[in-house]
Amino acid sequence: MGKIVRVSGPVVTAEDIEGSKMYDVVRVGEMNLVGEIIRITGNRATIQVYEDTSGIKPGEKVETTGKPLSVELGPGLLKSIYDGIQRPLDVIRDKTGDFIKRGYTASPLDTKKEWDFVPVVKKGDVIKPRQILGTVQETSLIEHKIMAPFNVSGTVDEISDGKLKITDVFAHIKGKNGDTKLTMRQDWPVRSIRGVKSKLPPSIPLITGQRVIDTLFPVAKGGTVAVPGPFGSGKTVVQHQLSKWADSDIVVYVGCGERGNEMTEILTTFPELQDPKSGKPLMERTILIANTSNMPVAAREASIYTGISIAEYYRDMGYGIALMADSTSRWAEALREISGRLEEMPGEEGYPAYLGRRLSEFYERSGNAIIDGSPDRNGSITIVGAVSPPGGDISEPVSQNTLRVTRVFWALDASLASRRHFPSINWLNSYSLYLGELLPWFGENVSKDWPEINGKMMSILQKEAELQEVVQLVGYDALPDKEKATLDVARIIREDYLQQSAFDEVDQYCSVKKQSVMMNLIMFYSDQVEKATSAGVSMEAIQNIPSKEKISRVKEVKDKDLQAYVADAMKSIENDIKAIRGDR
Amino acid sequence: MVKVGYKSIREISGPLIFVEGIRNAGYNEMVSIETPDGQVKSGQVLDTSNGLAIVQVFGATSGLDNVNTVVKFRGETARIHVSDEVLGRVFNGLGDPIDNGPQIQSSEKVEIVGDAINPYSREEPSEFIQTGISTIDGMNTLVRGQKLPIFSASGLPHNMLAAQIARQAKTLKSDDQFAVIFGAMGITSEEANFFMNEFRKTGSLNRAAIFLNLSSDPSMERIILPRVALTTAEYLAYEREYHVLVILTDMTNYCESLREISSAREEVPGRRGFPGYMYTDLSTIYERAGKIRGKNGSITQIPILTMPGDDITNPIPDLTGYITEGQIVMSRDLQRKGIYPPVDVLPSLSRLMNQGIGKGSTREDHRGVADQLYSAYANGKDLRSLSAIVGEESLSANDKSYLRFADEFEKRYVNQGLYEDRTIEDTLSLSYDLMSQLPVGEMKRLKKDFIEKYGKWK
Minimal-distance CA residue of chain A relative to B384: A472
Q: What share of chain B in percent tops pLDDT 70?
A: 99
Which residues lie below 8 Å from residue A375, measured CB to CB, with a gap of 6+? A132
Q: Which of B122, B291, B355, B375 to mutate to test the interface with A (most CBs of A within 10 A)?
A: B122
Q: Which of A499, A491, A545, A543 is nearest to A522 (CA)?
A: A491
Candidates B238, B276, B352; nearest CB to A336: B276
Q: HSE (CB half, 13 Å, CA atoms) of A223?
A: 23
Minimal-distance CA residue of chain A relative to B111: A54
CB contact under 8 A, A260 and B287: yes
Instruction: Give exposure, A546-578, as e/b (b: 16+ Cβ within 10 Å).
Output: ebbbbbbebbebeeeebeebbeebbebbeebbe
Minimal-distance CA residue of chain A relative to B49: A6
Where are any strands of DSSP class E within B50-163?
52-58, 70-77, 79-81, 90-91, 109-111, 128-129, 142-143, 150-152
Q: Which of A83, A264, A504 to mutate to test the interface with B (most CBs of B within 10 A)?
A: A264
Q: How far is B360 from chain A (nearest CA, A)?
A: 16
Q: What share of chain B in percent tops pLDDT 90?
A: 69
Q: How far is A318 from chain B (nearest CA, A)?
A: 30
pLDDT tens for B323-366 read 999 999 999 999 999 999 999 999 999 999 998 999 989 999 99
CB contact under 8 A, B444 and A495: yes
- Kindly list the residues from chain B whose CB atom is less than 8 angstroms away from the CB atom of residue A100: 115-118
- The predicted pLDDT at position B2 comes to 53
Longest dimension (CA), chain B: 85
Q: Which of A58, A56, A63, A53 is nearest to A24 (CA)?
A: A63
Q: How many CB atoms lie within 10 A of CB B393?
A: 9
- The predicted pLDDT at position A473 comes to 85
Candidates A346, A391, A475; nearest CB to B318: A391
Alpha helices in A342-449 (DSSP H): 355-363, 397-405, 414-418, 435-445
CB contact under 8 A, A98 and B295: yes
pLDDT tens for B293-304 read 999 999 999 999
Decide if pLDDT at B431 tops 70: yes
CB B179 within 8 A of CB B148: no
pLDDT by 10s per residue, chain A, length 584: 899 999 988 899 999 998 889 989 999 999 999 999 999 999 999 999 988 898 899 999 999 999 999 999 999 999 999 999 999 999 999 998 999 888 888 899 999 999 999 999 999 999 999 999 999 999 999 999 999 998 899 999 999 999 999 999 999 999 888 899 999 999 999 999 999 999 999 899 999 999 999 999 999 999 999 999 998 898 989 999 999 999 999 999 999 988 999 889 888 888 888 887 788 899 999 999 999 998 888 889 999 999 999 999 999 999 999 999 998 999 999 998 888 878 888 888 889 999 999 999 999 999 999 998 778 899 999 999 999 998 889 999 999 999 999 999 999 999 999 888 999 999 999 999 999 999 999 999 999 999 999 999 999 999 999 999 998 888 888 889 999 999 999 999 999 999 999 888 899 999 999 999 999 999 999 999 999 999 888 888 888 888 998 999 999 999 999 999 999 999 999 999 999 887 65
SS3 A233: coil
- Kindly list the residues from chain A whose CB atom is less than 8 angstroms away from the CB atom of residue B321: 230-232
Q: How far is A387 from chain B (nearest CA, A)?
A: 11
CB contact under 8 A, A476 and B49: no
- Amino acid of residue A247: D
CB contact under 8 A, B116 and A101: no
Q: What value of ipTM does the predicted structure carry? A: 0.88
Q: How many CB atoms lie within 10 A of CB A416?
A: 23
- Kindly list the residues from chain A whose CB atom is less than 8 angstroms away from the CB atom of residue B287: 259-260, 292-294
What CA–CA distance (Å, rounded) separates B284 from B274?
A: 16
- Kindly list the residues from chain B whose CB atom is less than 8 angstroms away from the CB atom of residue A475: 390-391, 394-395
What CA–CA distance (Å, rounded) separates B343 from B326?
A: 14
Where are any strands of DSSP class E within A465-527?
none
Minimal-distance CA residue of chain A relative to B287: A294
What CA–CA distance (Å, rounded) separates B163 from B147?
A: 16
Q: Which of B149, B169, B145, B143 is nearest to B328 (CA)?
A: B149
What CA–CA distance (Å, rounded) separates A449 from A461?
A: 19
Q: Pairing relation of β-strands B150-152 and B298-306?
A: parallel
Q: How far is A24 from chain B (nearest CA, A)?
A: 23
What CA–CA distance (Å, rounded) separates A144 from A119?
A: 12
Q: Which of B22, B280, B377 to mutate to test the interface with A (most CBs of A within 10 A)?
A: B280
Query: What residues does A325 pair with on adjacent strands?
Result: A254, A385
Q: What string of DSSP letters covers B362-374?
A: S-TTHHHHHHHHH
Q: Which of B379, B376, B441 is nearest to A552 (CA)?
A: B441
CB B244 within 8 A of CB B176: no
Q: What angle do CA A578, A580, A584 make, to 5 degrees?
A: 115
Tell me how far CA of residue B222 lies from CA of A28, A238, B213, B249, B316, in angstroms. Answer: 31, 37, 7, 11, 15
Candidates B29, B370, B447; nearest CB to A55: B29
CB contact under 8 A, A556 and B447: yes
- Kindly list the residues from chain B whose CB atom is less than 8 angstroms away from the CB atom of residue A295: 116
Q: Contacts from A570-577 at CB under 8 Å and sequence distance 24+?
A: A570/A521, A570/A524, A572/A546, A572/A547, A573/A524, A573/A525, A573/A528, A573/A545, A573/A547, A573/A548, A574/A528, A575/A547, A576/A545, A576/A546, A576/A547, A577/A528, A577/A529, A577/A532, A577/A537, A577/A542, A577/A545
- The predicted pLDDT at position B1 comes to 45
Q: Which of A4, A43, A57 to mutate to test the interface with B (most CBs of B within 10 A)?
A: A57
CB A238 within 8 A of CB A212: no
